[in-house]
Amino acid sequence: MKIQFLGTGAGVPSTMRYLSSIALKLLDERNEIWLFDCGEGTQQRILKTSLKPRKVSKVFITHLHGDHIFGLPGFLSSRAFQGGDTPLTIYGPKGIKDFVLTSLRVSQSHLRYPIFFHELEEEGVVFADKQFQVTCAKLSHGIPSFGYRVEEAAYPGELLVDKLKAENVPAGPIYGKLKNGETVVLPNGRTLDGEDYVGKAIRGRVVTILGDTRRTKQSVKLAKNSDVLVHEATFDKHSQQIAYDYFHSTCVDAAKVARDANVQQLYLTHISSRYAGKEVYALEKDARAIFKATTLVNDYDEFDIHLSKESD
């Protein structure tokens, strides 16, 4: 599992930062990519990465402000031209379906794959299968804005080989059956329950990606014990009132959410174009004073998402 930031700017694009878009790369897990927001210029950023649009199977939109959705019609069209023929599902606030279908209709864009829409009006689980669960929660941004929590299913515990050896259980296919939790009868008539020989399950990775928002208790609740939290940091610590008035967060707000939620790693994104050079590093420095494991990200930055030490 990897996370790559395609656009890390806020409001309007700049020469250094394009607008919001994040790729959660699940290529090893399920040969898919999930896209979170699709601001203007997303497909241009993708061209300079190894990402394949046809691998994008889900798009999660946090809210309907233009800097988070204006790249979506273009991306959807390009996906068709670049070999995408598998279904794609779009999750987002009510209105995202109308925006997409109107854009495609007016531009007479014809896709070669079906799009399914899941418009969000309430909090809760929006997707779940045996491998992943995605939960959404409402944030505080003036218009409906959501955060998404992606939870990987638990990994099976390790086979307790030392215990089996201590009990003189012969190695071989029996070990595999016990690992799968099966009940095995030995040649001597002894019955072994696989559950007695498998260690505690290891929880999967958790990634929380928030939309634009003021600092809110909902963010802390959604991000609780995440391995990764992605939080906007539109303003610096000196602009607290401005951030509040415009329903945004400062770098300090983001750090406090990460601290209170006990996350492992905080990534700051959605940076206002007013901050450049040393001012950008100040955002990261001020956040780290509150939450040490903070990284302010740039376009194209990519990170592995590992199981935290606390996972077991």
pLDDT tens per residue, range 47-78:
999 999 999 999 999 999 999 999 999 999 99
Write out the residue range of the structural domain in which residue 178 sits: 161-197
Asked if 101 and 231 sit in the same domain, the reply is yes
pLDDT tens per residue, range 10-26:
999 998 999 999 999 99
E strand or H helix at 5, and its extent? strand 2-7
What is the spatial distance between Cα 24 and Cα 30, in angstroms, rounded to a whole number?
12
Domain membership of residue 13 (yes or no) is yes
Beta strands (DSSP E) in 139-269 are 146-152, 183-185, 191-193, 206-210, 228-232, 265-269
Asked if 149 and 89 sit in the same domain, the reply is yes
Q: At what angle do helices 96-106 and 72-81 cross, to 10 degrees?
A: 60
- pLDDT confidence of residue 309: 57
Asked if 188 and 286 sit in the same domain, the reply is no
Residue 74, both tokens: 């273009």
Asked if 88 and 173 sit in the same domain, the reply is no
Name the band, by pLDDT with cuts 50, 70 and 90, for residue 180.
Answer: confident
Asked if 110 and 229 sit in the same domain, the reply is yes
What is the spatial distance between Cα 219 and Cα 114, in angstroms, rounded to a whole number?
33
Asked if 177 and 276 sit in the same domain, the reply is no
Q: Is the pLDDT of residue 42 over 60?
A: yes
More confident residue, 220 or 307: 220
Q: Is the pLDDT of residue 266 over 70?
A: yes
What is the spatial distance between Cα 272 and Cα 9, in angstroms, rounded to a whole number?
6
Number of domains into which the chain is organized: 2
**What is the pLDDT averaged over residues 149-178?**
90
Asked if 83 and 175 sit in the same domain, the reply is no
Domain boundary among 146, 171, 197: 197
pLDDT over 90, % of the chain:
80
More confident residue, 177 or 99: 99
Asked if 94 and 184 sit in the same domain, the reply is no
Q: Please state, rounded to an integer, the average pLDDT across all residues of the chain.
A: 94
Asked if 174 and 227 sit in the same domain, the reply is no
Q: What is the pTM of this model?
A: 0.91
What is the spatial distance between Cα 91 and Cα 89, in angstroms, rounded to a whole number?
7
Active site (catalytic) residues = 67
pLDDT tens per residue, range 134-150:
999 999 999 999 999 99
Contact between 62 and 50 under an 8 Å Cβ cutoff? The reply is no
Domain membership of residue 311 (yes or no) is no
Neighbours of 253 (CB within 10 A): 26
Residue-wise DSSP of 26-94 = EHHHHSEEEEE---TTHHHHHTTSS--GGGEEEEE-----HHHHTTHHHHHHHHHHTT--S-EEEEEET
**What is the pLDDT averaged over residues 92-112?**
96
Q: Is the pLDDT of residue 310 over 90?
A: no
Domain membership of residue 267 (yes or no) is yes
Asked if 117 and 39 sit in the same domain, the reply is yes
**What is the pLDDT averaged over residues 233-242?**
97
